[in-house]
Structure 1
Amino acid sequence: MKMKEEKFYTARGYELLDKDSSTLTPSMEDYLEMTYRFTLDKPYTRISDLAAALNVQPPSVTSMIKKLAEMGWVTYEKYGLVVLSAKGREMGAYLLERHSIIEEFLKLIGVKADMVLEQTEKIEHYLSCETVQSIKKLLQLFEQQPGLRKELQEVQGQ
């Protein structure tokens, strides 16, 4: 089989190609998304809240929040509150929307309920904004045409 003239990379290779110093890592995205989730109810969150929600130790949260603060995503005072900056709120909203879109897509295609969250967490960091928007449009199509969902379920044998 003859291969196309495309350049292939490992998953890590693609990460490195897309990386610059202002890029959020997957872990940073997780912290920012969770911070945003907490700030939907109140304008701030605490290190202990993030540690419990993300199943990590408070010193790990403090370290990450300091990095996010240096990048301008949050403000943080030692032993104080974590508050999203304007760009942090905007990014947090996007990250939560992206998470919801991917989660809904995985449910649509029949991923088992007990695997949806883990699979969403693994996938969400590696899709471009354009891909997420394409998935969103597909979900909207299935929403507008309920017969399509039924057809898909029949094909899947559900």
Structure 2
Amino acid sequence: MPAARKERSPNSQSPAIEDYLEQIHNLIESKGYARVVDIAQNLKISQASVTNMIQKLDAEGYLNYERYRGVTLTPEGKRVGQAIARRHDVLTRLLAGFGLDPETVHRDVEGMEHHVSKSTLRVLTLIVEELEGNAELLKRLKHKLDG
């Protein structure tokens, strides 16, 4: 019997790179642009640290950076940013759907989102969609948690 094929690591980027690409993606989606100052504010780190990472991400082909102009994502940067935003959304919807407090949801999602494989994300997405479409099932599950 052949050995089960092991799935590759869920992400080829580090959690820090994913956090940056997610933030840049979200800023561009909400504001139409991403600036170092906004990224620093959202990640709660210094602008100098953001500039250093932005230059690294530019060199690695994830984004284009023009000093004093802002940041745009390359197609690869956009793909990664969208994927991590999707993971974040699915995990948030799952945990929030059970009524966990927003701070717990945020903290837990930040810890989990970088470690979820594509196949696990597909399973979680299916579960979230089923729970969102079946209020009675969600109510029964919440009752079991409370009991």
TM-score (norm 1): 0.80
- 3-state SS of paired residue (1:45): coil
Asked if residue 38 in structure 1 is aligned to residue 27 in structure 2, the reply is yes
Of the two structures, which has the highest relative contact order with CA contacts closer than 8 Å and spacing of 6 or more? 2
Q: How many residues align?
A: 140
C-alpha deviation, 1:108, in angstroms: 3.0
Asked if residue 70 in structure 1 is aligned to residue 59 in structure 2, the reply is yes
RMSD: 2.0
- Judge conservation of contact 1:76–1:83 (CA < 8 Å) in 2: yes
**In structure 2, do the counterparts of structure 1 residues 18 and 133 end up closer, same or farther at CA, with 3 Å as the change threshold?**
closer
C-alpha deviation, 1:113, in angstroms: 2.7
Distance 1:147 1:74 in 2: 45
User: 99, 119, 123: which is aligned to 2:88?
Assistant: 99
Paired residue for 2:112?
123
Residue type at the aligned position of 2:85: L
- Judge conservation of contact 2:92–2:106 (CA < 8 Å) in 1: yes
C-alpha deviation, 1:143, in angstroms: 1.8
- Judge conservation of contact 1:44–1:83 (CA < 8 Å) in 2: yes
Question: Counterparts of 1:4-153 in structure 2 under 5 Å?
Answer: 18=9, 23-153=12-142
Residue type at the aligned position of 1:76: Y
Q: Which runs of 5+ in 1 are unaligned?
A: 1-16
Moved more, 146-155 or 102-111: 102-111
Paired residue for 1:14?
none
